[in-house]
Amino acid sequence: MQSGKIRTIVLGIFLHEGRLLVFEGGDPATGRIFYRPLGGGIEFGEQSHQAFVRESREELGAEVTHARYLGMLENIFTLDGRMGHEMVLLYEAEFADPALYVREAFPLANDNGEPIKVLWKPLADFETGALLVPSGLLELIRNGRTA
């Protein structure tokens, strides 16, 4: 997270049987647990759709189909006592490989090599206290779904 910079990122919304694929994170300063879909930065000269496909390959080793732009959220937040600012472009898609929907573990690591917990989390959990970020994402998912 770069202080004083706005970062443009893309996140992938993968839904299956009322569950959303997310990673579990924590704020070291507050101890608060949060959940966020997977994704990453958009590179200079790269269109957001291309970044979404690339990030899905890099992070999950997965090909995606039926990608559909859902919208954008502006995310101003504090993590570990530092302010962050992101423009978050969201894409809903399906996995080309249906085996990913029943997969229990996704072996991922952060930039420091530490493991990241990735899981299928019921959407209902976010209505009963689990924190889904960025703010407004749950409403966008619910309003943007066509199926």
- Domain positions in the chain: 6-144
What are the tens digits of pLDDT across the range 84-137? Answer: 999 999 999 999 999 999 988 788 877 777 888 999 999 999 999 999 999 999
Query: How does DSSP assign 76-139, residue by residue?
Result: EEEETTEEEEEEEEEEEEEESSGGGGT-----EE-TTS-EEEEEEEEGGGGGTT--BSSTTHHH
Nearest to 11 by CA among 122, 19, 20: 20
Kind and range of the H or E run holding 143: helix 137-144
Q: Is 29 helix (H, G, I), strand (E, B) or coil?
A: coil
* Other CB atoms within 10 A of residue 104 CB: 7
> How far is residue 65's CA from residue 67's CA, in Å, rounded to a whole number?
6
Yes or no: say if 42 and 58 are a contact pair by the CB < 8 Å rule: no
Yes or no: say if 80 and 27 are a contact pair by the CB < 8 Å rule: yes
Superfamily of domain 6-144: Nucleoside Triphosphate Pyrophosphohydrolase (3.90.79.10)
What are the tens digits of pLDDT across the range 19-42? Answer: 999 999 999 999 999 999 999 999
So what's the pLDDT on residue 146? 38
